């Protein structure tokens, strides 16, 4: 028997089970093999070998894209704080509309990136995946179905991603739609008029709900180009490959937490789910 429940069951009005944070890791599977990356550049970009400058240019274009788009979205790009990020972004969520990007936090965090090893003199390079601390972007949004969430994207090839959701926020929106009175605090419900319905809603979450949300925002936060523009020499390789990456991107839930107990005591809207085109 659960020790907590055994000692406190007389003071517990209701109990429920649900996920707390749900972390979805996203990656482009073919680009986890350096030889396939070389083949991609050679076949689709007529570029061989893939040098350090090529990879650096891709990252620079992504950084510039985020800066330009943030101004159009009306969401500032800020350095991540030393303390709790949830508390730091709290003011930006006040009065946030559905599907609105509210702020972008830039932080130096570990990521698996592709590195080019060689020298410019001989122009001989080989590619290698390595774990590095790099600047990544955390897009904080108020999703119409999931509430507060964020998407982390690495601007470095092969563009790893992470989507962070919270089922408590998802449940709160569901109960509001059904006019169920409740009291929420951080990651728990302290009071609920209909605990049975709360549990039914928690159990109704499916993988499809996760994938719809993840694909929606990954589509919005990666540069997108048409076939015609992707053939122009100045267009970033990052943009053209991410145009089709959503179809093959894979997700894995790496953190599923929580069995909390409750007691009674972009104006503009973010990228609008449709393909986003860079100027």
Give residue-wise pLDDT tens across range 118-142.
988 889 999 999 999 999 999 999 9
Arithmetic mean of pLDDT, 147-170: 93
Residue 238 pLDDT > 90: no
Residue 158 pLDDT > 70: yes
Task: Average the pLDDT over each of 51-60, 73-82, 260-269 and give the range with the smallest value.
Answer: 260-269
Q: Report how far residue 35's alpha carbon sits from residue 40's, in angstroms, rounded to the nearest whole number.
A: 9
Arithmetic mean of pLDDT, 261-266: 31
* Local confidence band at 266 (pLDDT 50, 70, 90 cut-offs): very low
Residue 269 pLDDT > 80: no
Q: Are 109 and 79 in contact (CB under 8 A)?
A: no
Residue 180: predicted pLDDT: 95
Task: Average the pLDDT over each of 83-87, 223-227, 258-262 and give the range with the smallest value.
Answer: 258-262
pLDDT tens digits for 3-40?
A: 877 777 777 778 888 888 899 888 878 888 999 999 98
Q: Report how far residue 100's alpha carbon sits from residue 91's, in angstroms, rounded to the nearest whole number.
A: 14
Arithmetic mean of pLDDT, 64-93: 94
Residue 241: predicted pLDDT: 41
Q: What percentage of the chain has pLDDT greater than the value 70?
A: 79
Task: Average the pLDDT over each of 13-17, 170-174, 213-217, 265-269 and give the range with the smallest value.
Answer: 265-269
Q: Are 154 and 113 in contact (CB under 8 A)?
A: yes
Max CA separation in the chain (angstroms): 76
DSSP-derived 3-state class of residue 32:
helix
What's the whole-number average pLDDT of the chain? 80
Give bridge partners of residue 150 from the DSSP assignment: 140, 164
Give bridge partners of residue 28 from the DSSP assignment: 249
Residue 223: predicted pLDDT: 66
What pTM was computed for the model?
0.79
Highest mean pLDDT pick, 85-99, 218-232, 244-258: 85-99
DSSP-derived 3-state class of residue 177:
helix
Highest mean pLDDT pick, 28-42, 77-91, 231-245: 77-91
pLDDT tens digits for 93-119?
A: 999 999 999 999 999 999 999 999 998
Q: Report how far residue 232's alpha carbon sits from residue 240's, in angstroms, rounded to the nearest whole number.
A: 10
């Amino acid at each position: 028997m659960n020790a907590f429940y055994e000692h406190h069951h007389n003071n517990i009005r209701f109990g429920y089970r649900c996920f707390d944070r749900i972390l979805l890791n996203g990656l482009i599977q073919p680009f986890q093999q350096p030889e396939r990356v070389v083949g991609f550049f050679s076949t689709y970009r007529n570029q061989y070998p893939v040098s350090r400058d090529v990879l650096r240019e891709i990252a620079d274009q992504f950084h510039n894209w985020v800066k330009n788009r943030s101004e159009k979205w009306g969401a500032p790009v800020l350095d991540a704080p030393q303390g709790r990020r949830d508390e730091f972004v709290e003011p930006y969520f006040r009065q946030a509309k559905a599907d609105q990007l509210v702020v972008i936090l830039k932080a130096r965090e570990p990521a698996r990136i592709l590195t080019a090893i060689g020298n410019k003199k001989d122009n001989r390079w080989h590619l290698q995946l390595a774990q590095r601390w790099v600047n990544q972007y955390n897009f904080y949004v108020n999703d119409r179905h999931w509430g507060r969430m964020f998407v982390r994207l690495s601007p470095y090839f092969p563009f790893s991603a992470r989507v962070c959701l919270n089922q408590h926020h998802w449940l709160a929106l569901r109960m509001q739609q059904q006019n169920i009175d409740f009291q929420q605090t951080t990651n728990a419900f302290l009071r609920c008029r209909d605990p049975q319905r709360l549990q039914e809603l928690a159990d109704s979450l499916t993988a499809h709900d996760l994938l719809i949300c993840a694909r929606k925002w990954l589509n919005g936060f990666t540069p997108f180009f048409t076939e015609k523009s992707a053939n122009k020499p100045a267009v970033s390789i990052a943009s053209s490959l991410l145009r089709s990456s959503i179809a093959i991107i894979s997700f894995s839930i790496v953190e599923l937490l929580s069995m909390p107990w409750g007691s009674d005591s972009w104006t503009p809207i973010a990228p609008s789910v449709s393909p986003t085109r860079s100027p």
